[in-house]
Structure 1
Amino acid sequence: MQLKTTIKDIDYKLCDQTFFGEKKQAYDLIEDIITFNHSEYGSIKDSQTLAGSFFINFIEVDLLQPIKIEYFTDEPVIQMSFFMKGCSNMMHHQIHCLPAGTKLAKLPSTPTALEYLSILIPQDIYIRLIDSLDLDYEFISSCSNENPAKQVKYSEMMTPEILAAVRDIGSCERTGHFRRMYMETKVSELLLLQVEQLTQTQKVMHTIPKIDIERMHHARELVTQNIIAPCSLIDLARKVGTNEFKLKKYFKEIFGTTVFGYLNELKMNEARQKLLKGEQNIYQIAESLGYKSPNHFSTAFRKYFGYPPSQIKNQNNYIGSSLMKVKEIVISMFCPFLTELSALDLLMI
């Protein structure tokens, strides 16, 4: 498959690649970073990863004025998009088909930097992956012939599971074949979660009044925006224009969990990301997520994941201390032969 993306305003190529065509590429990991900086138009940074049958792009856009992007593919391709930062549909996702040929999209100027994850899958690979699910493809075909820039209206808000998988992809520090296998596994997980959510949405649209579906989506957005100090069910129902009974009933039917369950998922996945980064201790994380004490947080974390938060902290500390021991061994072995290097240089090995 050939993919070309060009900034039409100044005829600047962001991408010109041929992939998915050779069997050996199923075992390859190809990575590149494309950077566009222009004093008049702004900047675009595209971190590209080809992992097996998936082309993964983490894109950062900071535009001073609108630009036109031309897309060309010689084969139809499925695009999964996850909007992380800087747009009105932040924390939303969508999936649609880019048919073969040339398409033109207009990217608006960005008051703040925009970040999103884009994943391209060849249509035949996509069909094979979900063939056993017996889907009607309605949510794909309805988007297939429209300008990609207009696809936001088809988006759904990310579930905590989807958000966690997106963050796992963005924060992966593995290398080589382990990184390729990890990326492929995570993209497959994202595809499952995304298709599952979108098909469930299609089903409930036929059984729940449209106005109540909109209210439930509004309720979920309010919960997502206020995970530290959430309001009561009665207040949440009042804010979205319904009653507590309908809020409980329809929220669970649409999203597959209760309001509290959804809030708990958000908190737990946020806590896990913070623990993996290792920048805060358990007390700080508990406080940042609105828990009364570290003990309350640890109990909730263990109940959700099946292990205490200290296990992640201890694992991070073990990895860090192991690396330092390796450095000490290397230094002790080679110091006699590396007298021209400073101690600081050696510690940077």
Structure 2
Amino acid sequence: MSAANFHDNFQSYVERLGVQAPHGNEQDPATVPASDGEGYIRRVIPRNDIELVVAKHAFYREQQLSVQTTAPMVELNFCMQGARALHIKGRQHEFTTGTCSLQFMGQFEAAFEYRRDDPFYMLGIGIPVTTFREFMADAEGGTDVEFSQVLGQSPFRIWQEKISPAATVVAERLIQGALQPRTRNLELQCGALELFSMAFRSFLTESNPEADSLSKSDREKIRLARDIVVENMAEPPSLLALSRMIGLNDYKLKVGFKAMYNNTVFGFLREKRLEKAWQLLQSGDMNVTETASAVGYSNTSYFAEAFREKYGVNPGAFVRQTAAWAKQ
């Protein structure tokens, strides 16, 4: 099967929604008929084996759409607003606001369900099986994650989790790029690859066998340490104080925490501080200085540097971007 065939899955979905691009160009924004609702679907193909789909629409009536896939593929989906249901072989899968979904698709019939007057906003990124294999291969060309093994005997498999702040920043940037005709393909490809890398690490490859060697009691104590650090991120205890609080010596805490969370205690704390800062800035409830203080940074300049290093944007610029996106 050629890599281009997986695009037919998206084409079938768009056709069943009843939208059509002007002049027959499938990469132009396709608008929802005025009699059915409002909004658009934008398809972009930055390279032959990657397709981006940005959908933003609402329907005046409940919609139920039957589709059939024609080629195996992998799709990464970010539901930014609203909800939709997917029915496959008697099972229902929900896509809700703030959810990231990684889907492995064989050939099957399915039905999408959209609610009445419910604005829906999502980013979908699709690749064919050949590209998935290429992405998962190591330097010697081998891989321990095969599409057929992941899918097994089922025609469909899905993983879902809350969209992380880091992924949200990349996804929103990619959406804005996809909606701008002058965005370079390189930028779109880089954004898509970064999101796939995050998702594959989270859903498929991120496991540490060293964590399995910890006793049940030690694992529970280390989870408690994690919770204490997150709940007291503005004024966290020292490592020694934390070890006393959970009843585990500091060496076991350091080694066990690294095994379970693939990070040091204070490296983990830094990540959670920046994720919380992202949430506070996005909500608009605090300015940059207040946010830095709320998550435990006494130096605003140091906070701004850490935020920029993680998310690729200054916190002040992020606040302005968030306000601009909210108006669209």
User: Which TM-score bucket, shorter chain as reference?
Assistant: 0.5 to 0.7
SS at match of 2:111: strand
1:300 aligns with 2:303: yes
Q: Describe the shift of the 1:286–1:13 C-alpha distance in structure 2 as closer, same or farther (beyond 3 A).
A: same
1:32 aligns with 2:39: no
Q: Say how many residue pairs are matched.
A: 277
Cα distance in 1 for partners of 2:150, 2:188 equals 28
Structure 1 residue 55 displacement after superposition: 0.9
Structure 1 residue 189 displacement after superposition: 1.3
Q: Which residue of 1 aligns with 2:131?
A: 125
Which of residues 258, 273, 289 in structure 2 aligns to 1:264?
273
* Identity level (%): 11
Q: How does 1:1-349 map to 2 (within 5 A)?
A: 1=5, 2-3=8-9, 4-6=11-13, 12-14=17-19, 30-38=27-35, 42=37, 45-52=40-47, 53-63=49-59, 66-87=62-83, 89-99=96-106, 101-109=107-115, 112-132=118-138, 134-137=142-145, 141-143=149-151, 151=158, 154-172=159-177, 178-201=183-206, 207=212, 253=259, 255-257=261-263, 258=265, 260-267=269-276, 284-287=287-290, 291=294, 296-305=299-308
Structure 1 residue 186 displacement after superposition: 1.0
The one-letter amino acid paired with 1:263 is: K
Structure 1 residue 56 displacement after superposition: 0.5
Q: Is the 8 A contact 2:132 2:147 kept in 1?
A: no
Structure 1 residue 79 displacement after superposition: 0.9
Q: Describe the shift of the 1:106–1:244 C-alpha distance in structure 2 as closer, same or farther (beyond 3 A).
A: farther
Cα distance in 1 for partners of 2:271, 2:77 equals 22
* Structure 2 spans left out of the alignment, 5+ residues: 84-93, 238-245, 321-328
Deviations 1:240-289 (A, max 9, x none): xxx79799988765554455233223146568x97xxxxx9xx8333367
CA-atom RMSD in angstroms = 5.4
Q: Describe the shift of the 1:160–1:313 C-alpha distance in structure 2 as closer, same or farther (beyond 3 A).
A: closer
Q: Is the 8 A contact 1:5 1:14 kept in 2?
A: no
Structure 1 residue 175 displacement after superposition: 5.6
Structure 1 residue 50 displacement after superposition: 1.6
Cα distance in 2 for partners of 1:200, 1:192 equals 10
Structure 1 residue 31 displacement after superposition: 4.2
* Structure 1 spans left out of the alignment, 5+ residues: 17-28, 233-242, 275-279, 318-349
Q: Is the 8 A contact 2:41 2:53 kept in 1?
A: yes
Q: Describe the shift of the 1:82–1:244 C-alpha distance in structure 2 as closer, same or farther (beyond 3 A).
A: farther
Deviations 1:152-194 (A, max 9, x none): xx21333333222112212338966752110011111111111
Q: Describe the shift of the 1:144–1:177 C-alpha distance in structure 2 as closer, same or farther (beyond 3 A).
A: farther
SS at match of 2:125: strand
The one-letter amino acid paired with 1:137 is: V
Q: Is the 8 A contact 1:6 1:15 kept in 2?
A: no
Q: Which residue of 1 aligns with 2:87?
A: none
The one-letter amino acid paired with 1:60 is: K
Deviations 1:60-106 (A, max 9, x none): 3535654333334433221111222334753332222222x452223
Cα distance in 2 for partners of 1:244, 1:164 equals 38
Structure 1 residue 43 displacement after superposition: 5.0
Q: Is the 8 A contact 1:47 1:58 kept in 2?
A: yes
Deviations 1:117-168 (A, max 9, x none): 11111221222222227543378754577687x84xx213333332221122
Deviations 1:185-227 (A, max 9, x none): 1111111111111134555799399x989xx7xx99xx7xx99
Structure 1 residue 109 displacement after superposition: 1.9
TM-score normalised per structure 2: 0.59
SS at match of 2:53: strand
Structure 1 residue 108 displacement after superposition: 4.4
The one-letter amino acid paired with 2:126 is: L
Bigger radius of gyration: 1
